[in-house]
Amino acid sequence: MPERVVLAYSGGLDTSVAVRWMTEEMGVEVVALAVDLGQGGEWTTVRERALKAGAVEVVVADAREEFAREFVAPAVRANALYEGKYPLVSSLSRPLIAKHLVATAREYRAGAVAHGCTGKGNDQVRFEVSVRALAPDLDVVAPVRSWKFTREDAIEYAAKYGIPVSATKKSPYSVDQNLWGRTVECGVLEDPWEMPPEDVYELTVPRAEEPRELVVGFESGLPVSLDGRAMTLEQLVPALDQAVGPYGFGRVDMVENRRVGIKSREIYECPGALALLMAHADLEGMTLERDVAHEKARLEPRWAELVYDGLWYSPLKSALDAFMNETQRHVSGEVRLRCQPGTCYVAGRRSPVSLYEHDLATYTAADRFRHQDAEGFVRIFGLSVETWARRQGTGTSA
Ligand code: ARG
């Protein structure tokens, strides 16, 4: 009996050709696994295409809720932005797909899993490191890395075996999409000086004219409502996408550092994600104690880096999660977002557990702040600088 391999299947050209190529060239049975992460696929078409390509079995896993709860929610708590800008759209999805690859491999008694990544990107790192962490006994196969096909070769190969690629859309870009946003690479974007043509964008096409306000509610760091209506995270993100995207808000254009040492120009569209992250970080400003806030801000870039680098399942990432979770207990309240053409910004915030005390902050009224205490505090605070300054004055430099 031929060995079985479970392939992470997207329905695109490369993974479709990979099904047939592994069957023919490696002599294995291929189980195609498609994971629904809110990218909005036509799953019956995806299923049919995988079967036409030669898969012995097709599994479609609806992982939207799991993705939101276990991957997006921690990213919100950690205010996760790689290199300060990218909300980790693809980086968050790969460890979850890896988890489903492993589960499917167990269910179908497969000895290996496979992905359709090239050797130049981050996604191969994320898939393989995640699978090794979850199931060190499984092999990982990367057909796209071993065949020597150009895009034309792949199209020809598909035609030879009657794999329907006409249906796979002929975009000049390489796109990845899920609940948390959309990533676009390749084509004219490979010239970092070139302005992205408007056809790059789908979620942030400016249409809305009238300013509007939105209120996002949080409970212990988790977004739970929009304009007072309770929503799950997997409902809230698309709802926010639709609300703020039409203002043209949510675009990122950056040259980023891949884990494999290559700089690449990337376009991201993440209206809902960026609005939520902005609101969450703002509410922390009101609810986190000063030292906690400052330490958290130091650890956040590290969390994002680990996730970007494919180390979702790693001891440091778990330890940082524990820290992040501990900080979120009182991150509850509401943030008011205002949208107007070209932008969306925080216009106000309130919290039942706020650390903002009007009595202390105000300059206007008589208050309970003991002004006389400030004198001694400031003198002692500045003492070491004062001592240093006096010595400068005497000209005796040690
Ligand atoms: N540069 C981003 C990242 O590394 C996006 C990758 C998108 N992946 C893709 N196969 N198109 O996370």
pLDDT band of residue 3 (cuts 50, 70, 90) is very high
Same domain, residue pair 270 and 136: no
pLDDT band of residue 338 (cuts 50, 70, 90) is very high
Mutate to test the pocket of ligand 1, among 266, 307, 309 (most ligand atoms within 8 A of CB): 266
- Dig out the tokens for 393 from the structure: 């004055």
Residue 238 has pLDDT above 70, yes or no: yes
Whole-number Å distance, alpha carbon 285 to ligand 1 midpoint, is 31
Q: Which of 174, 225, 314, 354 is catalytic?
A: 174
pLDDT band of residue 141 (cuts 50, 70, 90) is very high
Q: What is the pLDDT of residue 137?
A: 97
Place of tokens 């820290």: 323
- Of all protein residues, the one whose alpha carbon is nearest to atom 4 of ligand 1 is 122
pLDDT tens figures, 22-35: 999 999 999 999 99
Same domain, residue pair 217 and 325: yes
Q: Is 212 a catalytic residue?
A: no
Same domain, residue pair 376 and 252: no
Residue 340 has pLDDT above 70, yes or no: yes
pLDDT tens figures, 58-99: 999 999 999 999 999 999 999 999 999 999 999 999 999 999
Residue 362 has pLDDT above 90, yes or no: no
> Which of residues 155, 172, 189 is at a domain's end?
172
Same domain, residue pair 295 and 373: no
Q: 73: closest CA among 277, 260, 244, 371?
A: 277
Same domain, residue pair 27 and 157: yes
Q: Is 354 a catalytic residue?
A: no
Q: What is the pLDDT of residue 363?
A: 80
Beta strands in 207-357 (DSSP E): 212-219, 222-226, 229-230, 251-257, 263-269, 333-340, 343-350
pLDDT tens figures, 194-207: 999 999 999 999 99
Same domain, residue pair 305 and 370: no
How many angstroms separate the Cα of 67 from the Cα of each of 117, 179, 299?
21, 8, 23
Atom of ligand 1 nearest to the CA of 121: 4
Q: Counting beta carbons within 10 angstroms of the beta carbon of residue 261, is it exposed (0 to 12), middle (13 to 18) or buried (19 or more)? A: exposed
Same domain, residue pair 166 and 302: no
> Which of residues 172, 189, 210 is at a domain's end?
172
Same domain, residue pair 168 and 181: no
CATH at residue 104 = 3.40.50.620
Q: Is 94 a catalytic residue?
A: yes
Cβ of 178 below 6 Å from ligand 1: no
> Which of residues 172, 206, 233 is at a domain's end?
172
Distance, CA of 320 to CA of 302 (rounded, Å): 9
Residues in the chain: 398
| Section 129-133 average pLDDT | 98
CATH at residue 289 = 3.90.1260.10
Same domain, residue pair 19 and 168: yes
Same domain, residue pair 90 and 187: no
Same domain, residue pair 346 and 383: no
- Average pLDDT taken over every residue of the chain: 95
Mutate to test the pocket of ligand 1, among 122, 180, 267 (most ligand atoms within 8 A of CB): 122
- Of all protein residues, the one whose alpha carbon is nearest to atom 9 of ligand 1 is 176
Q: What is the pLDDT of residue 90?
A: 98
Q: What is the pLDDT of residue 398?
A: 54
Cβ of 10 below 6 Å from ligand 1: no
CATH at residue 376 = 1.20.5
Whole-number Å distance, alpha carbon 124 to ligand 1 midpoint, is 10
**Structural domains counted in the chain:** 3
Atom of ligand 1 nearest to the CA of 176: 11
How many angstroms separate the Cα of 337 from the Cα of each of 244, 245, 280, 372, 395?
10, 13, 11, 39, 56
Atom of ligand 1 nearest to the CA of 122: 4
How many C-alpha atoms does 152 have within 13 Å on its Cβ side?
0
- Dig out the tokens for 240 from the structure: 């926010």
Q: Is 14 a catalytic residue?
A: yes
Place of tokens 């609810």: 287
Residue 233 has pLDDT above 80, yes or no: yes
Whole-number Å distance, alpha carbon 277 to ligand 1 midpoint, is 20
pLDDT tens figures, 250-269: 999 999 999 999 999 999 99
Kindly report the pTM of this predicted structure. 0.95
Domain enclosing residue 162, as ranges: 4-172
Q: What percent of the chain has pLDDT over 70?
A: 96
Same domain, residue pair 314 and 335: yes
